[in-house]
Structure 1
Amino acid sequence: MLAQDDAVIFVGAGISMWSGLPSWPDLIGELAEFLESEGLPADSVRREKSRGDLLQAASLGFDLLTKPQTGQFLRRSCRYGIARPHEIHRKIIGLGPRCFITTNYDNLLEIALQTWLPDRPVRGPITNRQLMEIADIVQARSLDFVFKPHGDIQDVESVILTREQYRALLPGGDRHAALESLKMLMATRPVVYLGFSLRDPNFYFIRDLLANTFKGGTRDHYAVMPDTATDEERFWRRNYGIHLVSYPTECGQHGALLKVLDELAPSSSVCASVALDATLSPEELLRLARYADGLTRAPRVEREFPLRVHAHRVAWSRGKTSVDFCHEGQLSETFLVDGPPRAALVGPPGAGKTYALRRAVASLAEQLHDACLAEPLASSSVIVPVYVDLKFYRGDLEQQIEEALPPRLSLDRLSRTCRLKFFVDSFNELPREYLDSGVCVSNIANVLDRYPSATVVLGSRSAYGFDRLDFPTYDLDRIDAEFVSATLNRLGLSLEGDFGRLRESFSRSRFILI
């Protein structure tokens, strides 16, 4: 069945858990903790979680959050820009099918396809807000897509997580086209479900869709699930036309699933020769620890002003512009360490861009140094920061990155064992011949194509010159308003009326507050 051209793999949350993302119950637990960290009540969320009504818990929790808070929580829970595809992702995309559906909001599946099948053009993510693309993928010969009917973390408005949001998929709802396309795909194509359990809320959703489309007879739907019983397998086959393929767990561990995927994989899997080497030798760890120690020594001023970022115009390749508010108002350190996988940070001279970039590198380097000395080391969860100053660019960014790394530890080697984060500073100070000709921009794009799972932050005084990279762009030019107020209060100053507006001006400028 996997060899059929139109076969679909439907990926659930259990697959993302291999990369460190939370399960449904853990997600609700993190939601309760986030609410409390924001000074909001969480008792009702925990109560519904204890009753097993996770959807109601989500509804109660998200109803208390603003849109920026919702985006911040979802990015944090999805480990956005941090999580890396696991070996299980490589096995899944190597099974043969070229079409994927997922109820997950993260981008691990897309990164896996870019990493291990870079020569295969895949459309996606296609969310419930892209009506034209949704209409296209239901065509019988449509291939090479990733359909995300419950939304994608890069488009928070598309995310469907609560009962109220699920109603948008029902007849009359503004996302109903996504539901109809999903039903069409499930009714007309062979499907393999991975990463679900029989008690998964998302599988309840699938169960209802199957009930609406199953008219008896045979159906090429298979679900690989843990610890199912014979009577359960008979029930699902008879009532929903889905064949359960069971594998055993030991102490809650799902290692047997990897063996099942190996047995299902074709002998000439396109990914068979591209495996991650997830180990570093003791000598390599020592080099990496020394490298990290050097980065932690970036000078730190005695008194730092907490700076916040806000969204700048985002230029798209088709010549359109939009505004990205995903990380609006975040503190610069949070933005640079835990922010989007691709971003540009702009600000006038003296705004603190270089200092913020170097402090973010130092923060990640401290974590890297500690991880290198820990036992055991989970190298696939380690972030290796690399700082590059484009004032010294000479036409080869990859070579410049290599020169920043420790000796005998290549960029290619690290990309296969760790997560890389490039901090590329001083774009506006490029040698003129590379800026005007666009050579550096092409070079950056090529490096990102070669290392698609790497994250990058680009620093510049303006957005001029790199718009075709399609980086969401943020301005660094605001001092935290609470810090301004606290400092004025400390000085015994009370500013109201016109003077209150002056206080707001202070927070939007780079005045030094003593």
Structure 2
Amino acid sequence: MVIFNNDLLRDLAEQRVVLFLGAGVSASSAIDGSPAFKGWPEFLKDAAKSRQEHLRDQVIDLVKSKDYLLACQLLQDDYEDEWQELITEEYGKAAEPSRLHKSLISLKQRLLITTNFDKLLETAWAQCVPTGNRSFKVISQIEESVFRCLKDHDTPYLIKLHGSVDNTSSLIFSRSEYIRLAFGNNRYATFLDAILLNYTILFVGFSMDDPAISSLMEMYALNYPGARPHYIFAPEGGRENIAEINKKLRKLSMIKYDASENHTKLPVLIDQLARSANEKRREIIAANVAALDY
């Protein structure tokens, strides 16, 4: 049984945790036993199959080196108007949320951020909201309105950092889009910096390969060396030097889990985390009542 950090449990109990969900969460959903949506490498390689040989070879080489943004840029330029249709065809499919989605919702946090642009989280959240409870707001573009979530404490928010498939103009999926909508958008960095300073982030299904997110984490660690850490679920067996880099350069503590059997033990661990957070919530309430009686 994993013993969770007490600060993390307290922050969960007080809804001070932001769940930051990456591609690994979407990958947990299946249709007929296969992943519901293609990951970036598979999507890009499949999209390259119908292109001319020199472009196809370029994309394959870039995917091998994990330069997905440049591979995507080359394909987007070649497909032109058909590119958005290709994305919608893949990531706009109807799919059922996985157990992992529902376990994450059970943590009962007010703010969810994702780099995924499918609709699985909306579906999972809608299925889990009890009748009569306050519904959630979805924000799919990092504009001025996103900052309302920092003080709008009565409303849950799902913030789709890289856009949503039902609004293709909001998608950040290529190098030019990244430059324009992430690196070139002051609100993007300001918003995430505010989240890093005011909340505890729990990364799930996220590899830290995203250049904008990883650089912001590193600037946070550099500028606020005394600040508390954030957390990331990571498979057991990873290299310890990577764990040290995450800890020292990004103030990111790893929560290790057994990734065998296609990560099926991760939602079990998150269920355990939810129970521990509920126990901590009851302890806090009891302590507050006792203080009032005194």
Same fold (TM over 0.5): yes
Distance, in Å, in 2 between the alignment partners of 1:118 and 1:27 is 36
Answer yes or no: is the 8 Å Cα contact 1:138–1:181 preserved in 2.
Answer: no
Residues 149, 182 of structure 1: 8 Å contact kept: no
Q: Larger C-alpha radius of gyration, 1 or 2?
A: 1
The structure-2 alpha-carbon separation of the partners of 1:267 and 1:170, relative to structure 1 and needing over 3 Å to count, comes to closer
Corresponding pairs, count:
258
Shift of 1:194: 0.4
Write the mapping of 1:85-104 to structure 2, written as runs, cut at 5 A.
Answer: 85-104=97-116
Match of 1:223 in 2: 232
For residues 207 and 103 of structure 1, the distance between their equivalents in structure 2, rounded to whole angstroms, comes to: 13
State which of 192, 205, 208 in structure 2 corresponds to 1:195.
205
Paired with 1:95 and 1:197, the residues of 2 have a C-alpha distance of 21
**What secondary structure sits across from 1:64 in the alignment?**
helix
Residue of structure 1 aligned with 2:121, choices 87, 96, 109: 109
Cα distance change on mapping 1:123 and 1:40 into 2, 3 Å: farther
Q: Is the 8 A contact 1:169 1:179 kept in 2?
A: no
Q: Within 5 Å, which residues of 2 pair with 1:80-479?
A: 80-119=92-131, 120-128=133-141, 131-139=143-151, 141=153, 143-169=155-181, 173=184, 175-198=185-208, 201-202=209-210, 204-214=211-221, 215-227=224-236, 228-250=238-260, 253-266=262-275
Which structure: greater helix fraction? 2
The 8 Å contact of residues 128 and 178 in structure 1, kept in 2 or not, is answered as no
Provide closer, same or farther for how the CA distance between residues 234 and 93 of structure 1 changes in structure 2, counting only shifts above 3 A: same
Cα deviation for residue 71 of structure 1 reads 2.1
* 2:59 corresponding residue in structure 1: 45
Candidates 67, 72, 97, aligned match of 1:58: 72
Contact 1:223 1:245 in 2 (8 A): yes
Q: For 1:183 and 1:40, locate their aligned partners in 2 and report how far apart those are by CA, in whole Å.
A: 41
Name the amino acid aligned to 2:271: D
Measured at CA, do residues 59 and 3 of structure 1 come closer, stay the same or move farther in structure 2, by a change above 3 Å? same
Query: Structure 2 vs 1, CA of residues 71 and 231 (structure 1 numbering), >3 Å: closer, same or farther?
Result: same
* Residue 6 of structure 1 pairs with residue 19 of structure 2: no
Q: How much has 1:157 moved relative to structure 2?
A: 0.3
Q: Secondary structure at the match of 2:45?
A: helix
| CA contact 2:18–2:109 (8 Å) conserved in 1 | yes
Q: Deviations over 1:233-276 (max 9, x none)?
A: 2331222111111112337x21221221121112697xxxxxxx
Contact 2:102–2:124, Cα closer than 8 Å, also in 1 = yes
Paired-residue identity, %: 24
2:85 is matched with which residue?
A: 72
1:125 and 1:146 in contact (8 A); partners too: yes
Taking a change above 3 Å as real, the CA distance of residues 234 and 142 of structure 1, as seen in their structure-2 partners, is farther
> Distance between the aligned counterparts of 1:170 and 1:146, measured in 2?
18
Partner Cα distance (2:277, 2:260) in 1: 30
1:211–1:64 Cα change, 3 Å: same
Return the structure number with greater relative CO, CA threshold 8 A, min gap 6: 2
The answer for the alignment partner of 2:288 in structure 1 is none
Q: Structure 2: which 5+ residue stretches go unaligned?
A: 1-7, 30-35, 279-294
Give me the whole-angstrom Cα distance separating, in 2, the residues matched to 1:29 and 1:167.
23
Matched AA of 2:214: R
The whole-number CA distance in structure 1 between the counterparts of 2:172 and 2:165 is: 10
1:39 positional shift: 11
1:152 to partner: Cα distance: 0.7
The counterpart of 2:39, out of the listed 17, 23, 27, is 23
1:18 aligned counterpart, secondary structure: coil
Secondary structure, aligned partner of 1:147: strand
How far apart, in 2, do the equivalents of 1:178 and 1:263 lie? 33
**Offset at residue 163 of structure 1 (A):** 1.3
State how far apart, in whole Å, the 1-side matches of 2:47 and 2:150 are: 35
Instruction: Tell me the CA shift for residue 41 of structure 1.
Output: 4.9
Structure 2 contact 182–212 (Cα < 8 Å) conserved: no
How big is the shift at 1:40?
A: 11
Structure-2 change in CA distance of 1:268 and 1:234 (3 Å): closer
TM-superposed deviation, 1:47: 2.5
Structure 1 residues 417-475: Cα deviation after superposition (integer angstroms, max 9, x where no partner): xxxxxxxxxxxxxxxxxxxxxxxxxxxxxxxxxxxxxxxxxxxxxxxxxxxxxxxxxxx
Local SS of the residue matching 2:78: coil
State the SS of the aligned residue for 1:266.
Answer: helix
Deviation at 1:162, TM superposition (A): 1.1
CA displacement at 1:212 relative to structure 2: 1.7
Deviation string 1:314-361 (CA, Å, 9 cap, x unpaired) is xxxxxxxxxxxxxxxxxxxxxxxxxxxxxxxxxxxxxxxxxxxxxxxx
- 2:259 & 2:182 partners in 1: Cα distance? 36
Kept in 2, the 8 Å contact 1:168–1:176? The answer is no
CA gap 1:268/1:9 in 2 versus in 1, 3 angstroms: closer
TM-score (norm 2): 0.79
Deviation at 1:24, TM superposition (A): 2.3
